[in-house]
Chain A
Amino acid sequence: MSGPVRGSLERERRQAYWLVAPAVVVLAGVALYPILAAVWLSLHRFILVFGERRFVGLGNYAYLLGDARFWAALGNTAYFTAVAVTVELLLAVPLALLLQKSFPGRGLLRASVLVPWAIPTVVSARLWAWMFNPDYGLINRLLLGRDINWLGAPGYALHAAILVDVWKTTPFVALLVLAGLQGIPEDLYKAARVDGASPWRIFRSITLPLLKPALLLAVLFRSLDAFRVFDAIYVLTEGGPANTTETLSIYAYKTLMRSGDFGYGSTLSVATFLCVVVLAAVWLRLLGREERAR
């Protein structure tokens, strides 16, 4: 290659950096800065009412390790995430298989299945709060004669919140699974049928293995999302009764915005962030292994 060509390539490359630079700056401003600011704040004792702002190093983190409320919130969050995502997957796979079949009215069904997902969470949570009302609610009426205090009794409230989350996001998971299903070559099914495989065998040996990347992706999306759950639970219970539905996000929010304890509130936010990062790393590694295996 002659000199002028290489020179123009070099120029183009430099130009590319300049073109990308604004986006990088904006991203650093809106994504990186708040994270770093939160980490920096988490090293301070900074409570609005006191008007003091004092560096305490890892003091907040030391308190966090002994904070029973933090561990309870972490437990609630983990339980919520694990149960909600599992149930969503179990429901979404049959739903996706159903939606893939061609039958009259399929388009309408596909569209209507997505309705819960399209409703803003705050609105649907309000709706559900009424349905869970022990006196007027639809749920107790459907359970004929049962008088369950859904949002007021510990043990029930978190499961009520899980139900709302499942109702809302199963369609989304089903959609992801459906996309995965449509990526499976039809030939494989034809070949299996020629070989006389039973529907269950086809599902186990063809559909499920080939669906795995899509399922893992759904788990990745959903578990990260569920781990940060805030709006649905906040509208339903505000974290009550007795903090049995308090997730990490709600604890952090209350500490930051209601109490004005910016130091410890940031510590809680950073802890939540770290949990999400770990979770993401685990799923991405699994996903990567799956991709390589193909």
Chain B
Amino acid sequence: MVRPLFFSLVLGLVFVSLGCRRGEGERERGARLVLKYQPLWGPPEPFRALLADFEEAHPGVTLVTEALPNSSDLAHQFFLTSLEGGAADFDVLVADVVWVPEFARAGWIADLSEAFPPERLREEFLPGPVEAVVVDGRTYAVPWYLDVGVLYYRTDLVPRAPRTYAELERFALEAKAKVPGMQGFVWQGRQYEGLSCNVYEALWGHGGQALGEDGRVLLDTEAGREALGYLRGLLTRGVSPETVMGFGEEEARRVFQEGRAVFMRNWPYAWSEAQKEDSPIRGKVGMAPLPTVSGEPGFGTLGGYQLAVNASVSPERKKLAEKLIAHLTSPEANLVLAVHYARNPPRAAVYDDARLKQGSPFIASLREMVERARPRPVTPYYNLISDVLQSEFSAAVAGIRTPEEALGRAQKQVDHLMGEGR
């Protein structure tokens, strides 16, 4: 009999002390704010200092950071299961650029329009990222950092950056003929999300659009067929090696970095790798917008992460979470991420900051390309359909199906998901 009594006494004490803590002081005191994010590669100190600044400005608030898997697919899966289950154990989360409409539609992330009105975002941020976070005129996330698809080329092997697809092909074949063992153009052709990015870039370069006027995902279009035909043609005409069908970002980068390819499509991270001390291509690499049919600068796929608030947390915690987002997406924070982690600022004004030009001239030089970056179809159903896109795009690139067949099949499956097939 002694033991249960003792046990309940202890429990009682715990509750009483918890109650006291919550009761005393201001609302923020004792609050614990959890940020769920993917680790930023680089030195940990600058980011820690950024978080410490927030804690200092909000005494009594404890910030907790929880790392997500580095793979975007795995992180998405985590959110799919935990947000669907109404988990409230994290407040602020990072969302890949293609998740925001989906999470907003499902009611998993909070409407932030009051703290971050869409008009203000449009004034302060670049157009692409704003397009990705504003859903039906409401703000659901704030851009944190950006990524954009770009073309890398070997300055010692080609006269200048190609502006059209025809030029890229000609330069690649000429350089290949001169240097034995050289590959032409390497990109990401494996069946995964990176392939979709490459296909959309080709689609925009052929004058196509990802979404119709009515917001429908357009697949079976003239530009779509041309884009897939172009990518397949790169393989059949020997511009790209057959091995690109198994390439992700890193596979392409390794070949390029070893000096075995003339051109590469990749994200900006490959630049710093190429410029490292022991890199065989150090000083021989140029970077340019992707080519197009017409010769105007191409459109890179917009990548990157946004900060959103878990819709399951209490209004008080939401208020605090909004403050944290404001802090982490401030011009100062943009600058820290750009200089220390080579992440492109989503804020236009930061590109004019002398400290950026000084601290990270490469990131500053990307402004034009980042401004032209386009998001993949902005629709709540993107993740639902991306799996279909990946498999049919892959079939067309591998030459198993013609672009017509692949796009027709993709359209049929997508329509089924959208409920028109049943």
B residues within 8 A CB of A258? 73, 76-77, 383, 386-387
Judged by a CB distance under 8 angstroms, whether B394 is at the interface is yes
- Cα(A255)–Cα(B383), bound, Å: 10
CB of A241 within 8 A of CB of B383, answer no
User: Nearest chain-A residue to B395 (Cβ)?
Assistant: A242
CB of A48 within 8 A of CB of B106, answer yes
Contact A49 B381 (CB under 8 A): yes
Contact indicator per residue, chain A 222-260, by CB within 8 Å of chain B (1) or not (0): 000000000000000111111110100000001101111
Nearest neighbor of B391 in chain A, beta-carbon distance: A243
Pair A237/B387 contact, Cβ less than 8 Å = no
- Does any Cβ of A come within 8 Å of B244's Cβ? yes
- A47 CB within 8 Å of chain B: yes
B251 to chain A, nearest CB (A): 8
**Which residues of chain A are within 8 angstroms of B380 by Cβ–Cβ distance?**
49
Task: Evaluate whether A242 and B394 lie within 8 angstroms (CB atoms) in the complex, with A152-B189, A258-B77, A258-B383 already known.
Answer: yes
Q: Which residues of chain A come closer than 8 Å to B191, judged between CB atoms?
A: 237-243
| Residue in B189, B383, B400, B422 whose CB lies within 8 Å of A56 | B422
Partner of A63 from B102, B381, B401, B422 at Cβ < 8 Å: B422
Of the candidate stretches B163-171, B288-296, B413-421, the one touching chain A is B413-421
Question: Which residues from A are CB-within-8-Å of B255?
Answer: 135
Contact with B along A258-285 (1 / 0, CB 8 A): 1111000000000000000000000000
Interface residue B86 (Cβ < 8 Å from any Cβ of A)? no
Q: Across the two chains, which residue of chain A brings its CB closest to B413?
A: A69
- Of the candidates B246, B384, B422, which one forms a contact with A149 in the assembled complex, judged by CB atoms under 8 Å apart? B246
Contact of A257 with B422 in the complex, beta carbons under 8 Å: no
A59 within 8 A of B: yes
Known: A49-B105, A135-B254, A257-B80. A242 touches B384 (CB 8 A): no
Residues of B with C-beta under 8 A to A63:
416, 421-422
A-chain residues with CB within 8 Å of residue B246 when the two chains form the complex: 134, 149-153, 241
What are the residues of chain B within 8 A of A260 when measuring CB–CB? Answer: 80, 84, 383-384
Decide: A259 and B244 in contact? CB cutoff 8 A.
no
Q: Mark A106-142, 1 if CB is under 8 A from B, else 0.
A: 0000000000000000000000000001111000000
Contacts of B107 in A (CB 8 A): 51
Q: Is B192's beta carbon under 8 Å from chain A?
A: yes
- CA of A68 to CA of B422, assembled, Å: 16
Contact A254 B387 (CB under 8 A): yes
Q: Are A149 and B242 in contact (CB under 8 A)?
A: yes
Q: Are B102 and A242 closer than 8 Å at their CB atoms?
A: no
Q: A135-B255, A152-B246, A259-B383 are in contact. Are A240 and B422 (CB under 8 A)?
A: no
A56–B390 Cα gap in the complex (Å)?
28
The answer to the question of A45 belonging to the interface, with a C-beta cut-off of 8 Å to chain B, is: yes
Asked whether A261 lies within 8 Å of B77 as measured between CB atoms, the reply is no
Are the CB atoms of B391 and A152 closer together than 8 Å? no
Contacts of A47 in B (CB 8 A): 384, 417
Q: Which residue of A lies closest to B189 (CB)?
A: A152
B409 at the A interface (CB under 8 A): yes
Are B102 and A49 touching (Cβ within 8 A)? yes
Q: How far is the CA of A255 from the CA of B105 in the complex (A)?
A: 19
A118 to B17, CA, bound (A): 51
Q: How far is the CA of A63 from the CA of B189 in the complex (A)?
A: 30
Q: Within residues 239 to 257 of chain B, which ones have a CB less than 8 A from any CB in chain A? A: 242-247, 251, 254-255
Q: In this assembly, does B398 line the interface, its C-beta being within 8 Å of a C-beta of chain A?
A: yes
Residues of B within 8 A of A59 (CB): 422
B190 CB–A CB distance under 8 Å: yes
Minimum distance in angstroms from B222 CB to a CB of chain A: 23
Q: A75 contacts the other chain (Cβ, under 8 Å)?
A: no
Chain B residues within 8 Å of A259, by CB: 383-385, 387, 417
Q: Check if A240 sits within 8 Å of B192, measured CB to CB.
A: yes
Are B417's CB and A152's CB within 8 A? Answer: no
B residues within 8 A CB of A51? 105-107
* Contact in complex: B242, A153 (CB < 8 Å): yes
Nearest-Cβ distance from residue B210 to partner chain A, whole angstroms: 18
CA distance A257 to B73 in the complex (A): 10
A245's closest neighbor in chain B, by CB?
A: B191
CB closest chain-B residue, reference A150: B246
Residues 57-76 of chain A, each 1 if its beta carbon lies under 8 Å from chain B, else 0 = 00100010000110000000
Which chain B residues lie closer than 8 Å to A180 at the CB level? Answer: none
A184 vs B247: C-alpha distance when bound (angstroms): 51
| Docked CA distance A51–B311 (Å) | 15
* A154 cross-chain contacts in B, Cβ below 8 A: 398, 400
Given contacts A237-B191, A241-B397, A242-B397, 13 further A-B contacts (CB under 8 A): A47-B417, A48-B106, A59-B422, A63-B421, A63-B422, A136-B254, A238-B190, A240-B391, A241-B191, A241-B246, A258-B383, A258-B386, A260-B80
Q: List 10 A-B contacts (CB under 8 A).
A: A49-B106, A68-B409, A149-B242, A149-B245, A149-B246, A153-B246, A238-B190, A241-B191, A241-B394, A259-B417
Binding site for A on B (CB under 8 A): 73, 76-77, 80-81, 84, 102, 105-107, 189-192, 242-247, 251, 254-255, 380-381, 383-387, 390-391, 394-395, 397-398, 400-401, 409, 413, 416-417, 419, 421-422
The 10 closest A-B pairs by CB, nearest first: A240-B191, A152-B246, A152-B245, A242-B395, A242-B394, A134-B243, A243-B391, A242-B398, A259-B384, A242-B400
